[in-house]
Amino acid sequence: MPTDSSPSDEACSHPVPDRHGASLYDSDTELHRLLSLYLPADLLAHMRPHFERLGALAGGVLDELAGTADRNPPTLSLRTRTGIDAQRVHKHPAYVQMERLAFSEFGLAAMSHRQETLGWKGSMPPLVKYVMTYLFVQAEFGLCCPVSMTDSLARTLKKFGSPELVARFMPRLQNLDFDSVAQGAMFMTEQAAGSDIAATQTRAWLDDQGQWRLTGDKWFCSNPDADFAMVLARCDGGTPGLKGVSLFLLPRLLDGGAPNHYRILRLKDKLGTRSMASGEIRLEGAVAYLVGEQGRGFVQMADMVNNSRLSNGVRAAGLMRRAVAEAEHIARERRAFGKRLQDMPLMQRQLQKLVLPAEQARSMVFQTAQALARSDAGEAAAYPLLRILTPLIKFRACRDARKVTGDAMEVRGGCGYIEEWSDPRLVRDAHLGSIWEGTSNIVALDVVRAVNREGSLPVLQAHCEALLDDTAIAPGFAAALRSALARAASLALLAAAEGGDPLARQAASALYHVTSAIAMAWEGARGGSAQRIEWAQLVLLHRVLPRDPLVPARIPLEWTGGATNAVPA
């Protein structure tokens, strides 16, 4: 397999450009600038070789493994040839090799739960994990689901589990040895209970030995052969509705090594994430352990899902980055009608439409990861900020990824429609982000819920105002951003007052666009990037402010401090 960090000269000069072999870290200079802003210098210096290695793998070997695993999805066998019930999910060796990289060599799932990872002593800030995921997902999306669920399961177990439960099971979730590391899953969804958790029918009861048992069907279970799964169930004699739902930890194997009492009925034939198994589970008196307080399952599950939603946003940002980088490479290397594609005005405009949402999502990843670190450190105002940033990025970035990956496919032309290239896989995988861990409507309503229940809106406003106070940009542009922030907040308040439904999506988009534009302006000013400030201006112009579609749009001169700006928006 090729391991070079850059494509060969022959590949670059060929009329059909191929970026395979290029490092996805080395070529991403914008990522380098952002890391210098957000990470301490000593940590960045320590992590840079690891970023470089993963970036090289993602652009070469890992990308090849991902393509192979996508074309060879897992299969399920229910019995041995002698008739013994011994279920097994068979994974292609390419997928197993990616598991080894993610869970063992880079420790992506355990990184937040260890005091030493990749040679760094002490806890690793969330941003490092998300940057690694951002690079990894540009090659392989499917495996990042089990990685995220394992990380989120460990977080929820530590937060809500009894000391005995944590001591018993956490060591395997913190482990990096590939032969013994545990993977996690969430078995939440039922046929009648998707987003409506109150409709959960899976039953939990105590047997004669005081052990919890679970019975019922779970309809969509990714990573179904995981070592542990978090399961929602309704305790016998409990309160109807949400208050009767509890959270349980379900081990795949019992203490003696025998399989637990549940079956994988079948694997799903999915549009995307083909490399990773998703199945249907039937619980048949399975042994499980109550996590936290009985009847508080929805609250505890929401904490786990919120962590997964942030990971969803990170993955959407990564997919967009890969799609944009591929499109930019083609536009730079491909020639038609005697010109490079990137020199053609319509192509320049098309690329700009791809870049803006990708860079918005990237800024929101950094901002949300920073809020998560502050919240975990106990900073009071950080939790309500995290509580609204998380559904914002999950709502908007995941929707943007569907369009960006599709439009980037068009830049490659007919080759983009061929399965030998990464484009079809990116398009298929991008559509999942808006579905799992809450559909767009559910997540938009969660933004409104954060406004109503967590008091998140004034905290978000204060955060954005503080960024603007620390941003040296043209006064006219700063004023426009402050005005847009005030109007987006007013819309969010109106949505909250009306119960969310009619205006929730519009309010969520407005808050996302304004927050990301402010963050990008701050990053550009602090990092000396005029390009990033211009992107922030274009976000405000195109994605926030209404304009006459019959009039060509230009960035107002007062936003640039009076400098000439003929860039069409």
| CATH classification of the domain holding 223 | 2.40.110.20
CA distance 415 to 395: 30
- The fraction of the chain above a pLDDT of 70, given in percent, is 96
By the 8 A CB rule, do 214 and 203 touch? yes
158-204, pLDDT tens digit by residue?
Answer: 999 999 999 999 999 999 999 999 999 999 999 988 888 889 999 99
Domain count, the chain: 2
Check pLDDT > 90 for residue 13: no
By the 8 A CB rule, do 260 and 250 touch? yes
Check pLDDT > 50 for residue 330: yes
Which pLDDT belongs to residue 237?
A: 87
Which pLDDT belongs to residue 206?
A: 96
pTM across the whole model: 0.94
Does some domain include residue 416? no
384-399, pLDDT tens digit by residue?
Answer: 999 999 999 999 999 9
By the 8 A CB rule, do 126 and 139 touch? no
Does some domain include residue 60? no
Q: How far is CA 189 from the centre of its chain?
A: 19
Q: Are strands 184-187 and 262-267 parallel, antiparallel or unpaired?
A: unpaired
Domain residues for 461?
Answer: 440-559
Residue burial 128-162, b: 16+ Cβ < 10 Å; e: rest = bbbbbbbbbbbbbbbbbbbbbbbbbbbbbbeebbe
Which pLDDT belongs to residue 2?
A: 39
Which pLDDT belongs to residue 154?
A: 96
DSSP per residue, 472-485:
---HHHHHHHHHHH
60-98, pLDDT tens digit by residue?
Answer: 999 999 999 999 999 999 988 999 888 999 999 999 999
DSSP 25: T
Does some domain include residue 349? no
Dihedral of the alpha carbons of 117, 290, 220, 198, in degrees to the nearest 10? -130
Q: Which two tokens stand for residue 28?
A: 């991403």
174-183, pLDDT tens digit by residue?
Answer: 999 999 999 9
- Name the more confident of 26 and 569: 26
Mean pLDDT on 468-495: 96
- The fraction of the chain above a pLDDT of 90, given in percent, is 85
Check pLDDT > 80 for residue 563: no
- Name the more confident of 205 and 549: 205
Does some domain include residue 527? yes
Does some domain include residue 170? no
Within a 13 Å sphere around the CA of 143, how many CA atoms are in the beta-carbon half? 29
Check pLDDT > 90 for residue 485: yes
Check pLDDT > 70 for residue 534: yes
- Name the more confident of 554 and 94: 94
Does some domain include residue 342? no
CA distance 440 to 178: 36
Which pLDDT belongs to residue 566?
A: 45
- Name the more confident of 32 and 502: 32
CA distance 190 to 205: 18
Which pLDDT belongs to residue 11?
A: 53
DSSP 270: -
For the chain, what is the mean pLDDT? 93
Does some domain include residue 214? yes
Check pLDDT > 50 for residue 304: yes
Which pLDDT belongs to residue 369?
A: 97
Domain final position from 244, 268, 295: 295
Mean pLDDT on 308-321: 96
CA distance 125 to 57: 23
Which pLDDT belongs to residue 5?
A: 45
DSSP 219: E
Does some domain include residue 108? no
Which pLDDT belongs to residue 306?
A: 84
Which pLDDT belongs to residue 307?
A: 86
Residue burial 415-451, b: 16+ Cβ < 10 Å; e: rest = ebeeeebbbbbbbbbbbbbbebbbebebbbbbbbbbb
Per-residue confidence at 15, pLDDT binned at 50, 70, 90?
Answer: confident
Domain final position from 239, 268, 295: 295
Which pLDDT belongs to residue 4?
A: 43
Domain final position from 277, 295, 313: 295
